[in-house]
Amino acid sequence: MEKVLFIVVAVLAVASALNILLQRNPLYSALSLIGTLASLSALYVTLHAQFLAAIQIVVYAGAIMVLFIFVIMLLNEPKDQPQIEKQKWLRYLAIPFAGLLIAEMFYVIRSVKPLALPVIPAQGAEHAVGTVSSIGTALFTDYLLPFEVTSVLILMAVVGAMVLARREGD
């Protein structure tokens, strides 16, 4: 029974993911992405990782998708309005600032020393995959840099969306 449920939910996840690509309306694509994320949460439940399933719903299907839909609504402009580019000289600053950002990233990566954390011996179900302890340990040791890079990318996306959504006279 568990295998059948896993297969049904996996097919639903793949169908929702394909629907993301096939939709012409970005709002419908975002709603299909919510269906995909909910299906992934159900897959986590079938794999006995209940904490990951709850976080998948709360963080991704909840908070991140609200942000995506908010940005889609901000950027959904009528097609009949002409685009006026203000401050054309700012585009020439993008390449030097991108180079500066990349140089800063390499400097930080090379200068940060690995943090030595105490090793906790695995004791039964406490350190199984998907528990709060194992996720916290992995997140703040092995995956700290990708976690922080992702948060910076999301912040940049929000700022970019707000800049693009700013209208004349606001």
Q: What is the domain partition of the chain in residue ranges?
A: 2-78+89-113+124-165
Whole-structure pTM value: 0.51
Give me the CATH code for the 2-78+89-113+124-165 domain, please.
Answer: 1.20.120.1200
- To the nearest 10 degrees (0 to 180), the angle between helices 2-22 and 26-46 is 160
Distances (CA, A) of 126 to 6, 46, 91, 134, 143: 25, 19, 52, 8, 20
pLDDT 10s per residue in the chain (170 long)?
788 888 999 999 999 999 999 988 888 888 899 999 999 999 998 888 888 888 888 888 788 888 888 887 777 766 665 666 677 777 788 889 889 989 988 888 888 777 665 665 555 555 566 677 777 888 888 888 988 999 899 888 888 877 877 765 55
CA 47 to mean position of chain CA atoms: 22
